[in-house]
Amino acid sequence: MRNIEVIHPFLTRPWIQIIKSKETTKKGTILVLKYLKMIRKQKNHFVDQICGLLVICYLDGGRQWSSIRGKHSFRRVSKAVARIIALALDLDADFFDKREMLGEPIATLRLLYYEGNISTPAKGIYGAGAHSDYGLLTLLATDDVAGLQICKDKDAQPQIWEFVAPLRGAFIVNLGDMLERWSNCIFRSTLHRVMLNGQDRYSVAYFVEPNPECLVECLPSCHSEANPPKFPPVTCGAYMVKRYKETHADLSTYKEHETSKQTDGFVCNSP
């Protein structure tokens, strides 16, 4: 990620050109354009924030994005992080390597460009409002412009926010809500937001979720008689669809039938 700014020409192209470059009607595919329109309407985001979204996942038999450079490096790093998590939870190191887990995962690569605006917290204006990611974990590469903030204790009042210093050549790892659910709250998802300081800012986020058919239930090492499971079992696919519906329910471009079978706005192809 030495020259992360190279994504600028792609992200500043008209949306319709981006869509036409990879438009498809194959099974499992929903045009990215609808998702981009939603992003521009989300609260706490600058209207000029532009994102590109490429998704490589289990749902489609095509290999449209198979030539993406660096794809295998992202997967290799995410699996290494998952093995560290497994060991921390007293599980076998390869616990998450199973086909139904990260053997055939949902993997999302999201390119982000924030124009050089200024965040105004008093007015609720941010580069990205406070949130935690839905899935298992996120690998984040950034440029040299500071902006990412995390809240280590999301239940604290008042919340204390800290900047995460950019570090070229390294990934920032955010833990997701699914891992919090899976680990029975032993691991907490990372509450984070983006503050803008007048400089253009670029980042690349790689979201990792288990296979859609994976049953997410309290891990065997994460519950006991004194600490029973806090969440009922759910498949990864059903959980992700539910979360996306909740997020986009207030948007005029949201159509429930468009997310009845897959997560909304994603182009889905096999790994």
Taking each helix axis from N to C terminus, what angle separates 32-41 and 15-22, rounded to the nearest 10 degrees? 150
DSSP letter at 121 equals G
- Alpha-carbon distance 155 to 127, whole Å? 22
pLDDT digits (tens, 9 = 90+) for 55-80: 444 333 334 444 555 567 788 899 99
Element (H, E) at 114: strand 106-114
Contact 63, 267 (CB under 8 A): no
CA distances in angstroms from 236 to 105, 209, 242, listed in the order given? 10, 8, 10
Contact 268, 59 (CB under 8 A): yes
- Rounded to 5°, the CA angle 124-45-110 comes to 145
DSSP letter at 269 equals -
The pLDDT of residue 175 is 97
The pLDDT of residue 172 is 93
* Nearest C-alpha neighbor of 172 from the set 112, 100, 104: 112
The pLDDT of residue 56 is 40
The pLDDT of residue 117 is 84
165: left (phi over 0), alpha (psi -120 to 50) or beta: beta
The structure tokens listed for 203 are 């980042």
Contact 128, 191 (CB under 8 A): no
Across the chain, which has 271 residues, the per-10-residue mean pLDDT values are 56 50 43 47 44 41 48 83 97 93 85 84 85 93 91 92 89 95 96 91 89 94 96 93 75 40 32 29
- Alpha-carbon distance 59 to 44, whole Å? 31
Q: What is the dihedral of CA 168, 170, 171, 172, to 10 degrees?
A: -80
Residue at token pair 């560290």: 84
Q: CATH classification of 4-259, choosing from 1.10.3720.10, 3.30.70.360, 1.20.120.1200, 2.60.120.330?
A: 2.60.120.330
Domain residue limits, the chain? 4-259
The structure tokens listed for 201 are 């800012």
pTM over 0.75: no
The structure tokens listed for 188 are 């907490």
The pLDDT of residue 194 is 93
- Alpha-carbon distance 101 to 183, whole Å? 15
The pLDDT of residue 176 is 96
The pLDDT of residue 51 is 44
- Alpha-carbon distance 105 to 162, whole Å? 31
* Nearest C-alpha neighbor of 208 from the set 92, 42, 76, 35: 76
78 burial type by CB count under 10 A (0-12 exposed, 13-18 middle, 19+ buried): buried
